[in-house]
Copies of this chain bind each other. A is one copy, B any other.
Amino acid sequence: MKDVQSERDTRGVYLNRVGIEDLRIPITLKTPSSGPLNTVAEVRLAVDLPAEERGTHMSRFVEIINEIEILKPHKIEGVLEHLKERLGSKSAFLDMTFPYFIKKKAPVTGIESLIDIDCAINAELIGEDFSFFITSSVPVTTLCPCSKEISDRGAHNQKAIATITIKSSSLIWYEELVELVERNASCPVYSLLKRPDEKFVTESAYDNPKFVEDLTRDIYKELEKIEEIEEFEVYVKSFESIHNHNAFALAIKKEG
C-alpha cells in the first residue's frame, strides 16, 4: 500500500509543528503525599516536519500516547525522545491539560474536602534541548481595596483565577504553587465551609484587600525567590462582581 505521507515534498516549507490534538486519555499522576491521583488529560502531541517530507504519520502519536501511564517529568523527556525517533523529526512537543485535585481543610472546622484545579504540562524537546513547563490555575477570592477604602460598609469581592506557569530546573509540586497563590490572595476558596469557616473567610478577605495588580505582584515576588524557577508568568483574572466584563493583570519573568 502506497505511503503518501512519505513522499518527497518540493515546496520547501518547514512546518514548525504537526500532530494531533483534542485527544483525551485517563492518566495517573504522582502526588507529594496522598498516593497516585487519577484524572483525565486533554493532549496535544506534535513534532516538526522537515521541508522535504510531505506528511507525518499521525497514527504513531497515538501509539506513543498509549504507552504513557504514570506521568513523571523525566518520563516525559523519554516520551519526546521516542517521538522524535519514531517520526524522524528534530523537535517534539507534548501539551496536556487536566483537572488536579487537592484535599483541603476548612480553615476553622478542619473538615476536609477536595478542590479541583486546572493544571497543565507543556514539554518540548528541541534538538537536545529539553524544556518543561507546568501551569496551575488557582481559584481564590479577591476583595477590592478601593471599594473597601471608599465605602462605609462592605467591599466588593469575587472569584479570581491566578494562573502561574513556571519553567523549573527541579521538581515543583502543584501543591506548592497552589499554596503559594492562596497565601497571597485575599482568601483561598474551598469546596466545603461550615458557618464558622464562612465567618473566617469573609473576615479574612475583608482584612486582606487585593487588586488583581496586587495579587499578581505578590505572587511574582514569591516566585522570584525560588531559585529553581528559571522563568515564569503570572496571569490573574478577576471575575468582577460589579461589572459584566472582567479585569486582569500579567507579569512575565524571562530567564537570564
The answer to the question of A126 belonging to the interface, with a C-beta cut-off of 8 Å to chain B, is: no
Q: Which residues of B contact A205 (CB under 8 A)?
A: 154, 156, 241
Bound-state CA distance A156–B160 (Å) is 13
Q: Which of A78-86, A167-175, A242-250 contacts B (4 or more CB under 8 A)?
A: A242-250
- How many copies of this chain sit in the oligomeric assembly? 4
**A150 lies within 8 A of chain B by Cβ:** yes
CB distance from A110 to the nearest CB of B (A): 14
The answer to whether A15 and B249 have CB atoms under 8 Å apart is yes
Contacts of A16 in B (CB 8 A): 250-252
Q: Residue of B at shortest CB range from A147?
A: B202
Question: Counting CB contacts under 8 A, is A132 at the interface?
Answer: no
A229 at the interface (CB under 8 A from B): no
A216 part of interface (Cβ distance < 8 Å): yes
Q: Describe A's contact surface by its main secondary structure.
A: mixed
* Contact-size category for A: 35 or more
Contact of A141 among B193, B199, B242 (CB under 8 A): B242
Q: Which of A1-51 contact B (CB under 8 A)?
A: 1-5, 9, 11, 13-26, 28, 37-40, 46, 49
Q: Tell which of A187, A198, A248 has the most Cβ of chain B within 10 Å.
A: A198
Interface residues as binary, A139-176 with B (CB distance below 8 Å gives 1, 0 otherwise)? 10101111101111111111100000000000000000
